[in-house]
Amino acid sequence: MKFTEFKNSIEKELLAHPSGFTWLELRDRLSLPYDHPCQTWVARLEEEIDLVRKERIHGAFVWKIKPSKE
């Protein structure tokens, strides 16, 4: 899987579900081939699609796309 495929699938899923998902939920929903997310790719997602990971559910970060300021 290339980064652009990863990014597009994550972005599409998070835009469709603004309340967000944990990594495990995203991985399972999207059938991603990774046990853990690549931190380099996560940093790129934070820059490119405004990914935020702050809230926690049972110790796991919730991935969301920061709402745009319109």
Residue spans per domain, the chain: 3-65
Contact 48, 34 (CB under 8 A): no
- Residue-wise pLDDT tens digits, 3-49: 999 999 999 999 999 999 999 999 999 999 999 999 999 999 999 99
Instruction: Assign 3-state DSSP to the chain and report helix, strand, coil percentages, each to 5.
Output: 45, 20, 35
What is the predicted pLDDT for the residue at 27? 97
Alpha-carbon gap, residue 2 to 62, rounded angstroms:
23
What is the predicted pLDDT for the residue at 70? 44
pTM value is: 0.87
What number does CATH give the domain 3-65?
Answer: 1.10.10
What is the predicted pLDDT for the residue at 69? 54
